Structure 1
Amino acid sequence: MAPKLSGAAFKKLREKKKETQESLSKTMNTWLSKPKVDLPLNHLDPDNHISLPISSKLVELEENQVEKLQTLVDYPHNIKDPKQKKNLDLEVEVQNKTSEVIFLNPATKQIDDNNDIQSLSDAISQPEPTPLISLLESPCEIKLSENFDFEDPVTWPLINDKFRTFIVEHGPKLETYKNYNFPLDETGRHFHEKWLFRTLPNGEEVRRTWLLYSKQKNVLFCFPCVIFSIENTQYFSSISLGFNNWKKLNPKISDHEKSPSHKESVFKWKEFEKRLHGGKTIDCTLQNAIKSEKEKWKAILKILFDVILFCAKNNLALRGTDERIGKPNCGIFLSTLELLSHYNPILAKHIEEVNAKNNVISYFSPQIQNEIISLLGKSTREKLLNRVKESKYYSIMFDCTPDVSHKEQMSQVLRYVYISNGTVSVEETFIDFMESHEKTGEGLSLEIIEKLNKDDLKLSNCRGQSYDNAANMSGKYKGVKTRIMQINNLAVYVPCNAHSLNLVGNDAAKVCVRMITFFDTVQQIFNFFSSSTSRWTTLMKCINISLKCTSATRWSAKQDSVSALKRNLKNVYNVLKEMSENPKLPKEVILGATNLLKHLDFNFFCLLDLWNEILTTINRVNLALQKKSLTIDSATKMVKGLILSVQTMRNEGIEKTIEFGKVIANDLGIKANFSDKRKRKVKKLDFEIIEDNVQVLSQQNEFKKDIFEVYDRILTELSNRFENMSEINENFGFLYGSSLTDHSMDYIQKCAADLSLKYETDLNSSDFISEIKDFKSQAFSLLPDLRAATPLALLQLITTYSLRAEYPNVEIALRIFLTLPITVATCERSFSKLKLIKNYLRSTMGQDRISDMAILSIEHTVVNTLDINKLIEDFAGKKARKIAI
């Protein structure tokens, strides 16, 4: 038995092993990565006889050597740790590093095939793989930050061969910076977008494709010089510096454009771009492999995007209790992918690989799902916000509601005039759900302003605001609308007309005891049948339309309940009568039915007909006011028509109502008259004088008095609550076709002058007065029926015939008027989507995911216009290089 080694012997053994490892590391490093030298531009030509690095020589290795090399490369994946076997979509670091071997810079030193391959074979035969792992840990992978911008070099990572290929293939993305406010420097100067274009001798302008502007640092960069310049000493080519001396832009841009170094960088850029797209670079084999891999992922990602959009548009949950595809309860997303794989070979093969190996990248994980949802939601939101910015003027609508997890969700909706392809439309666009932590007008207004700043929307361009009638939103002194108007007095407040009209009906229903009792009886009838399944089944056998519940907040609820009861009144009465006479039923049911029958008298029948007519008339206007495209002129006409209808019903009296009550009472065998109340007797004292001939109103006159009180309350509330909208309508009323036709030009020009004073930052008074006169004549000749033309039709006329340059102030005034809101019904509709998306099974959903899922569901028409292929192209381009090829 050999003696145990001493400490000195162990030390010598460790030193010898260390020397062996260092030798192996140097050998591999010499063979794989040659020192970088400057090459002529034609070094990318495959026809040049320049020695190739390992990426081209690897195919010449013998089969057994390749297997040994692959075994050594795959060493980290052979670890038996179960945590490393988990199927994740996040790439393993060693996988990334493995692919870096292919991206090493080409060398100019001639390679001796036999010697180098023999050295490689010797290196592979060494038992320790540690030096290779150390060698592969090179900082060459593309790691793009969250704020990465193709046009902003400040956000770019370290420029290496991989990133150079990536940025040349995808960029630069050129923006025009139209309507962008460039920040001022210390001298009060700023960059102007005109420098992005070069004016030719003939006056034409061409885009300087090489010039990039950094929003983060407020400086300029030269794209080809940053990417290809050998010495980044000039301001235009240095990422750390950039150029921001705006005073000397005139000579500096031209001088740099004509400099030899710039021309050389441009030549390298275009030559490399040409060879890259033509597949003639020295790593064309690698590029083809990446292209093939990218096409594969594009096909898979196209399916993933479509499935996620399908789930989002239909408010479906994506995940189940099991994250493994093909397993029970794996969720709608994975189940749909499994179904589609039956008809898609690429997807089927990918799923097979995922199930066969634990370390295969699948892109099925919840992280990737959230990433795609976020990408789609962000793209949709950016597109909508860009539309708003192009329109310039907009109105804000905010409303709050608690969600299933007891968080206050504030819905943000913007209204604006959208002009596309010669078509004018009024849009109300959902933007976001934001969690609100405030209840006061001050706190809510700060949250709203902060959100508008985050969306890069100028509050100075806001021309309208609309909220519900809550005091913290619509308060005269401390409400949100008052605080917003203190910052921008042109943000005209329009209370939600749908909420206002709902309050008109609710207030009229509480005008007297008779009306309160009537609606309470309607609710009791619904409660009596709906609280028992057997009673509800008995009732449904006799009626065609089910009874509805009344509500103080839900629009149209009272009309639905009264209308349903009126249409089934006889059947409901007969069912109650049968229950009250059936001794087999519980006594609670018999007593309840008997008590309800006492309330179903002649008085109730008359009120049922009266309120059905009133609520039907109000509800018809209420539904029309909730349309997105409705404008103030149309809403004002509807309210005026409603006032006229109520006034007509009041003047006609109650004869028709009483006649309906008599018909129903006779059919049911009930007295067709108002029951007399017992006259109250007052005790007469010795010193009091009581006249016995005091006139007392009859029950019919009492009924008529209460009815007139209802009509008067409705008319009064309509006049008061819609006064603000009527005032706004009068300010812009001269822009109607009927006003242009009927009123004199002096009156129209006076109205134009008054409007110019209010909107002095938007309208030029003298020009506006002059334009409106010519526009009237122009409209007469272009429109066959000017009298019937609405402001929207007049704006469409200006757009169709390209008259914006001739009548700019008229066009601006029409856009401002059409931008003003009518209701917050769009916010209310978004709450319905919120309840479908965040239900009790999905109550822990994060705020960002809620907003993204909601915007994909609500604005699905805009989602359909997204360039999904472009999103997939960028997504696949980034992911392809993270996969070991």
Structure 2
Amino acid sequence: MIDILLPKGPKRDLSIQYGPKDKLNRRFSALSYSRVLPNGEKCDIEWLVYRKELNRVCCFCCKLLRKGHVKGLLVNEGFNDWMHLNVRLKEHETSREHVTNMAAWYECRLRFQNNQTIDKVAQRELEKEKEHWRKVLHRILLIVPFLGERNIAFRGSNCNLYQDNNGNFLGLIQMLAQFDQVMREHVDRITNDRIRDHYLGPSIQNELINLLATAIRSEIIGKIKKAKYFSVLLDCTPDISHQEQMSLIIRYVDVSSDFVSIEESFLGFLEVNDTTGQGLFDVLKDELKSLDLDIDNVRGQGYDNGSNMKGPNKGVQKKLLELNLRAFYSACGCHNLNLTLCDMAKSCRKASDFFGVIQRIYTIFAKSTKRWKILKDNIPGLTLKSLSATRWESRIDSVKAIRFQIPEIREALLQVAETDIDPCTSISIIIWYEILLAVSLISKELQLKDMLIDIAIESVQGLISFFSKYRENAFSKALEAAKEIALEMDIHPGFRTKRKIKRKRQFDEVAADASVDLQSEEESFRVNYFLPVVDQAIASLTRRFEQYQGFEKIFGFLFTSDRLRSLDHQSLMAACVNLENSLKSGE
């Protein structure tokens, strides 16, 4: 076949040169595709084609319609003497063989266009077959995004139609064949061995997935380039094959439609072998370069709180800031809340032991179907849930089930074995339920699609204010609620009194030393458990979200139109100068 590099007609770019240069520093120019007639009119040479693999030109119609051996390089192996090309083209164009072949080609092309060839019946069958394959490929292409959007596996252990475990892709093909005439005919051809290339194999599936993924990614990259500025979001996790993978998400302002919106687009997983800050940054930089995105246009970066991500000296955010000072870093707000809860649970021994008790209560019932039935017979509403190892905010579901059903769960435990519940655990349940509930509400607010940084700052400040008030007056309320639960379960509403260790008084000790008033168990619980947990919450929230205050100083005057209108000329000028200094690069 002749490889026609350029389309025929006026679409050819006549300013381009092709192929390597010869010894005299010449090569084929697209200007040769046209010539000027004596009357000054430009004429396109339709019959001239450039064969890229040979770096030669030839006459299309003569090569196609020649009879026997015809002299001339333009008809046979091709012509590449670029200095004498125009002279040779004029000689060939006026030759008798060329004129005859051109006339035959024009007539043949006209007959093809009007469907008046001798084999017009075969031509109609060919068109019918082409239309059939278009419809088949259309249906196959619709199945690929259907499975991809729902994160459903394509293949099973078998790759043949109408056999067990052949996967979801072939299963949908079989289902469509029951209702769709096009797919029924296609499947009949396959099962009756009338065709061998059916476009349903694993390699074709992978190719279709890659083609659609490339098209989607190109569309996303186009939107990002149109917006110009963007933010990068990264997170690392090992896959099932223990290969560390880093997910890349780009956040940008979508201005491609009339409705402007902030979008986040997932661009894929990046394989990582070096998990240090420098290694992760090198992978990010190479990927942005391959996507043709300028790293100088990054205006934000968001990661988790890992040292290799947020490290102030060697983390990814520091490496990026060294190249682009306008790539403002902000840690994940929900991850900050998660770490705040971790800090609170580690603030004292009893706090960490509390969640161990919650998990043990679940384990007692979950490890036996008989015990689980006893639990279901006793609790009418919420069922027990295991603690999440990573998402601390979700532990409210585990605490909530016990908080409002302590008597019923105690009764179920008594049926399993004689046991008792420590009053300290009852108070801890009430305290942690209220803490987790407050954190859960803020966490869900931070995950809203339309969440703005000023609202996030207000939410976090509101949470800090809640803990400050909770510290002053919540312990007595929690204690009263715990006493009510204890009385309901017919348990003494008081703390267990530890046995006092009596030490023999030495001869040189005065009697006043032995009469020191010991701290009550209730006060000890408040000082050693309640206050450390709440104080840790306030300190951790203040430390982990202080970065938002810095961003508020830069962008705060733009958050709302009311705030912008409230500024006088001097304050507005100062805010604009501060914003300019933060975003300026050089001049």
For normalisation by structure 2, the TM-score amounts to: 0.80
User: What's 1:472 paired with?
Assistant: 308
Summarize the Cα distance change of 1:365–1:652 in structure 2 as closer, same or farther, 3 Å threshold. same
Q: Secondary structure at the match of 2:160?
A: coil
Is the 8 Å Cα contact of residues 371 and 416 (structure 2) preserved in structure 1?
Answer: no
8 Å CA contact 2:394–2:440 kept in 1: the answer is no
**In 2: Cα distance, 1:382 partner to 1:654 partner:** 57
SS in 1 for 2:273: coil
Q: In the alignment, is the contact (CA less than 8 A) between 2:336 and 2:544 conserved in 1? A: yes
Tell whether 2:378 aligns with 1:542. yes
SS for the counterpart of 2:255 is strand
Equivalent of 2:401 in 564, 584, 605 = 564
Residues 487 and 288 (structure 1), Cα distance of their counterparts in 2 relative to 1, 3 Å cut: farther
Question: Aligned partner of 1:666: which letter?
Answer: L
- Distance between the aligned counterparts of 1:214 and 1:687, measured in 2? 108
Pair 1:642-2:463 in alignment: yes
**How far 1:616 moved relative to its partner?**
0.3
Give a deviation string over 1:399-421, Cα, whole Å, max 9, x none: 11122222222111111111243
Is 1:452–1:458's contact at 8 Å kept on the other side of the alignment? Answer: yes
Question: In the TM superposition, what is the alpha-carbon distance from 1:508 to its structure 2 partner?
Answer: 0.8
Deviation, structure 1 residue 278: 4.7
Quote the residue 2:205 is aligned against. 369
Runs of 5+ consecutive residues of structure 2 not aligned to the other structure = 21-26, 35-43, 58-88, 94-101
| Closer, same or farther: CA 440–276 of 1 in aligned 2, 3 Å | farther
Pairing 1:573–2:573 present: no
- Does 1:727 find its partner at 2:550? yes
Partner of 2:447: 626
Which whole-Å deviations, capped at 9, do the CAs of 1:288-319 have from their partners, x for residues lacking one? 55543321111101111122222222222222
1:442 maps onto 2:278 in alignment: yes
* Per-residue deviation, 1:231: 6.1
Q: Secondary structure of the equivalent of 2:260?
A: strand
Structure 1 residues 739 and 353: CA distance shift in structure 2, 3 A: same
Q: Is the 8 A contact 2:399 2:429 kept in 1?
A: yes
Q: What letter corresponds to residue 696 of structure 1 in structure 2? A: L
Q: What aligned pairs does 1:244-643 form with structure 2 within 5 A after superposition?
A: 278-279=113-114, 285=120, 290-357=126-193, 359-543=195-379, 544-581=381-418, 594=419, 597=420, 600-643=421-464
**What SS does the aligned partner of 1:437 have?**
coil
Residue 740 of structure 1 corresponds to 564
Matched, 1:675 2:496: yes
3-state SS of the aligned residue for 1:692?
Answer: helix
- Alignment CA distance shift 1:284-1:615 (3 Å): farther
Contact 1:393 1:463 in 2 (8 A): yes
CA distance in 2, matches of 1:632, 1:212: 53
Aligned to 2:518: 696
Aligned pair count? Answer: 520
In structure 2, the partner of 1:159 is 3
* Change beyond 3 A, Cα 1:407–1:513: same
User: Partner residue of 2:33?
Assistant: 225
Q: CA RMSD in A?
A: 3.4
Q: CA deviation at 1:737?
A: 2.0
Q: 1:221 to 1:565 in 2, by over 3 A?
A: farther
How far apart, CA to CA, are the structure 2 residues paired with 1:752 and 1:313? Answer: 44
When residues 682 and 284 of structure 1 are mapped into structure 2, their CA distance, relative to the original with a 3 A threshold, is farther
1:758 alignment partner AA: S
Query: Which of structures 1 and 2 has the larger relative contact order (alpha carbons within 8 angstroms, sep 6+)?
Result: 1
* Distance in structure 2 (CA, Å) of the matches to 1:216 and 1:569: 82
CA distance in 2, matches of 1:508, 1:660: 22
Letter in 2 for 1:751: A
Mapped contact 1:427–1:629 kept (Cα < 8 A):
no
Shift, 1:159, TM fit: 2.1
Amino acid paired to 1:725: Y
Separation in 2, partners of 1:356, 1:449: 53
* Aligned-pair CA distance for 1:631: 2.5
Distance 1:217 1:458 in 2: 31
- Indicate the residue corresponding to 2:583 in structure 1: 759
State the percentage of identical aligned residues. 30
- Secondary structure at the aligned position of 1:654 is classed as helix
Q: Which segments of 5 or more consecutive residues in structure 1 lack a partner in the other structure?
A: 1-139, 141-157, 173-207, 241-259, 582-593, 765-885
Instruction: State the alpha-carbon separation in 1 of the partners of residues 318 and 192 from structure 2.
Output: 64
How far apart are residue 629 of structure 1 and its match?
3.6
Q: Compared with structure 1, are the counterparts of its residues 296 and 539 closer, same or farther at alpha carbon in structure 2 (3 Å cutoff)? A: same
Contact between 1:408 and 1:435, CA under 8 Å: does it hold in 2? Answer: yes
Contact map agreement 1:317 1:331 (CA 8 A) in 2: yes
Query: How far does the alpha carbon of each residue in 1:625-667 deviate from its partner, in whole angstroms, 9 at most, with x for none?
Result: 1234422222112111211222222232422111111110101
Alpha-carbon separation, structure 2, partners of 1:726 and 1:514? 34
Q: Which deviates further from its counterpart, 637-646 or 297-306?
A: 637-646
Which stretch of structure 1 is more off in the superposition, 629-638 or 747-756? 629-638
**Shift, 1:430, TM fit:** 0.8
1:321 & 1:748 partners in 2: Cα distance?
A: 66
List per-residue Cα deviations over 1:255-305 (Å, max 9, x = no partner): xxxxx99xx9xxx9xx99x96995569799577555433211111011111
Change (3 A) 1:217 1:613: farther
Residues 1:462 and 1:221: Cα distance change in structure 2 (over 3 Å)? farther
Separation in 2, partners of 1:478, 1:451: 20
Aligned counterparts, 1:44-123, within 5 A: none
Distance across 1 between alignment mates of 2:435 and 2:17: 59
Render the CA deviation track for 1:500-535: whole Å, top value 9, x for unaligned: 111111111121122122222111111111122221
Could you list the per-position Cα deviations for residues 18-56 of structure 1 after superposition, in whole angstroms to 9, with x for gaps in the alignment? xxxxxxxxxxxxxxxxxxxxxxxxxxxxxxxxxxxxxxx
